[in-house]
Amino acid sequence: MNRPYTFINVAMTADGKIDTAERKGAAISSKQDKERVDQLRAGADAILVGGKTLLEELPKLTVRSEALREGRIQQGRSPNPIKVGVVTVADIPIDSDFVKVGNARVVIFTTSRTSKTQVERLRTHGVEIFTEDAARVDLVKMMATLKQVGVERLVVEGGGTINFELMRLGLVDELMVYIAPLVFGGINAPTLADGLGVPRDMAIELKLMDVEKWEDGGVVLKYKIR
């Protein structure tokens, strides 16, 4: 397989929202779910986010638990997985948490719409940049590149647009969803899978592998993507 084994991990409300309509990164995960996500991150070689998540939330994408980071070091690995951003125009601040926080390799896939000055600025600060002369990043090519640089297990943490595109292109193996006992509503609030969508006869089929019911009122669903 010319790509990493790939998990999409999502926390969403009971009405399927991954954020409020304000799109400011509303908290959804419970304490128990945050611990689950930390373990998932610790077992991964890289964590990936799409453009909106990258630019609007500037996520740290690090392993929070010192014990889990130490476990990675004892395995001969870096304390944190590689941070991967996929964005058409990489106008990300140099001093952002994504670039600066945590001992981690930082990789951005972008297009020629990102200025050469910004590309050089990011590279000066240790960010690895892969640039395509195209309107959008080629996700199939991106996944092959990640495999080439040593990523065997990849966790995707949104948002909805890149989640959908990766699934549509057959680039995802598992989908894990924490459903919180919350309702956000909002016609413009983002969901697990956004983008253009597909007709019914092209729906992405899932096989339910496991269900966990937690005391916090949440449910964790684990699917294989057919």
* Domain housing 39: 5-225
pLDDT above 90: residue 1:
no
How far apart, in whole angstroms, are the C-alpha atoms of residue 167 and residue 173? 9
> Residue 56: which CATH number?
3.40.430.10
Cβ neighbourhood burial of 173 (10 Å; 0-12, 13-18, 19+)? middle
E strand or H helix that includes residue 132: strand 128-132
Buried b (16+ CB within 10 A) or exposed e, 79-107: bbbbbbbbbbebebeeeeebbebbebbbb
Is the pTM higher than 0.85? The answer reads yes
Residue 2 has a CB neighbour count (10 Å cut-off) of: 8
How confident is the model at residue 25, as a pLDDT? Answer: 87
Total count of domains within the chain: 1
pLDDT digits (tens, 9 = 90+) for 34-49: 999 999 999 999 999 9
Amino acid identity, position 96:
S
pLDDT above 90: residue 93:
yes
How confident is the model at residue 206, as a pLDDT? Answer: 98
**What mean pLDDT comes out for the span 154-170?**
96
Q: Please report which confidence band the pLDDT of residue 145 belongs to, taking 50, 70 and 90 as the band edges.
A: very high
How far apart, in whole angstroms, are the C-alpha atoms of residue 20 and residue 88? 24
How far apart, in whole angstroms, are the C-alpha atoms of residue 62 and residue 102? 6
How confident is the model at residue 23, as a pLDDT? Answer: 87
